Amino acid sequence: MTKAIMVQGTASNAGKSLLAAGLCRIFTQDGYRVAPFKSQNMALNSFITKDGLEMGRAQVTQAEAAGCEPDVRMNPILLKPTSDRGSQVIVNGEVVGNMTAQEYYLRKRELMPKIEKAYASLASENDIIVLEGAGSPAEINLKENDIVNMYMAKRAKAPVLLTGDIDRGGVFASIYGTVMLLPEEERRLIRGIVINKFRGDVDILKPGIEMLEALVRKPVVGVVPYLHLDIDDEDSLSERLTESGPPKRIDVAVVRLPRISNFTDFNTFGRLKEASVRYAASVRELKEPDLIILPGTKNTMGDLKWLRACGLEAAILRHAAEGKPVIGICGGYQMLCKQLSDPFGVEEGGKMAGLGLLDAETVFEKQKTRMRIIGSFLKPEGLFAELNGAAFEGYEIHMGKTQGSAPALSTITSMQGEKKLDGMVSGNVFGSYVHGLFDSEDVLRGVVRALLKAQGIDAAQTEKAGWDIRTYKDQQYDLLAGALRSALDMDQVYQILEEGV
């Protein structure tokens, strides 16, 4: 019979996703067939499965940790915010429409059978399911229609590990308050407490841990240290967006758009000895980078308005006019065009001038493009000539098509064998719809060599870089599993798993 265990948190960003990924890795290392599950995810970082369906990247990361192929059943509902009050709703990988928070709230009960069917199907193929909650189970104003926390713990008969973030302060109060706000029926489901993101001497915590255990009558199964690992983040609460490492030879600046999506596309730059990557939300933060990247966004036209209002558009145009490189990915590619048209009101409606760095127009359409691809660069001239023939794989996920007279950037082939051109290039500017482009060693090395050459530096040395992203990720997941084995009482965790609820 399939076993299940669930990680819930006292708040968003308490570390649920990372702990779930670590448990997936541990159970996999111990010889079990393991899969992650989160009934509802709200995030702008998404992924396209092999069968062309859309799911949240947190469960993709957990699937990678478990050594299995990402499957939309692992995340049957994905909400992608389009505004402060509304989201695009994706069910079983397919878009069902845009809804306000109130509209979605009223339809939640209709989704419960779909969630339970996805879970049952996934459970039938695995030994252990590691479930993840969302936010906090003690959101008392939302509990009536909860479909992701205690609702799933009950349906999956999954004992719960409740985690709190001590780095933010108030961890004992947040854990106690969460437990005490739950009805007794749900308190019983919590079988262990995890204190997360601790810096310092654990012995200092012991008196507090003993008092907490006495108050909530739950064991603390571990204190997890603040981990410095390079594992993809779930959403816009990521510390990557506000922190930057020490400057290196190549300074890559990603524009931090208000509705930035799939920012994990650029993590690989920060793994290189030659490059550092940072996120800029103002002209002051942008400074004078070697490369500017315009990332994906859930609202291209809305974020383009923001780009103009804050002065970043002028800074980007000045950077490009000086012959320095600008790259746009997905929504960022659309911004590079001369014009954007939205005849169906998919985003803002009407027409809008783009940055004009590529001689092209984007027209938004009702149908979303979703597909996994492989591809290779054509023969870009000028600054990006180093990318000639570079191979890559990734996925497209966007509304709209882009056409124009600028030279095509690459050729791509879908999993179904459909071939087409992607992207455009004009001198020191290129745009592409492909997410995951820089996970390719060929592409990453080509961009770095181009940037070094622009500085008058011999780029041949980058041939020794040898970046294999899959091997690197596996190393990080193993480090995560090792850290959790040291921090958690795994005998107790296994006992909780075996006993169930």
**All domains in the chain, ordered by first residue:** 3-231+474-499 (3.40.50.300), 250-456 (3.40.50.880)
pLDDT digits (tens, 9 = 90+) for 385-431: 999 999 999 999 999 999 999 999 999 999 889 999 999 999 999 99
* Token code pair at residue 453: 């050459």
- pLDDT of res. 458: 78
Residue 68 has pLDDT above 70, yes or no: yes
| pLDDT confidence of residue 152 | 97
* pLDDT score recorded for residue 238: 59
Question: What is the average pLDDT across 85-105?
Answer: 92
Q: For the chain, first and last CA: distance in Å?
A: 14
From the list 494, 255, 299, the residue with the least C-alpha distance to 398 is: 299
pLDDT at 466: 46
Query: Which amino acids are annotated catalytic?
Result: 330, 435
pLDDT band at residue 5 under the 50/70/90 scheme: very high
Task: Name 413's bridge partners.
Answer: 374, 419
Taking only the tens place, the pLDDT of each residue in 266-318 is: 999 988 888 899 999 999 999 999 999 999 999 999 999 999 999 999 999 99
C-alpha to C-alpha distance for 398 and 409, rounded to whole angstroms? 18
- Identify the residue with better confidence: 72 or 501: 72
Q: Please list, in sequence order, all residues whose beta carbon lies within 8 angstroms of the beta carbon of residue 201, skipping any fewer than 6 positions away.
A: none
pLDDT number for residue 286: 96
Identify the pLDDT of residue 166. Answer: 96
253, 229 Cβ separation under 8 angstroms: no
Q: Using one digit for the tens of pLDDT, what is the confidence trace for 456-471?
A: 887 765 555 446 788 8
Q: Give residue 301's pLDDT.
A: 97
What value does the mean pLDDT of the chain take?
Answer: 93
pLDDT tens across 103-112, in order?
998 888 899 9
Confidence band, pLDDT 50/70/90 cuts, at residue 78: very high
Taking only the tens place, the pLDDT of each residue in 338-371 is 999 999 999 989 999 999 999 999 999 999 999 9
Helix (H) or strand (E) holding 114: helix 101-123
Does residue 372 have a pLDDT over 50? yes
HEC profile of 119-144: HHHHHCCCCEEEEECCCCCCCCCCHH
Over residues 236-276, the pLDDT tens digits come to 555 666 666 677 899 999 999 999 999 999 999 988 888 89
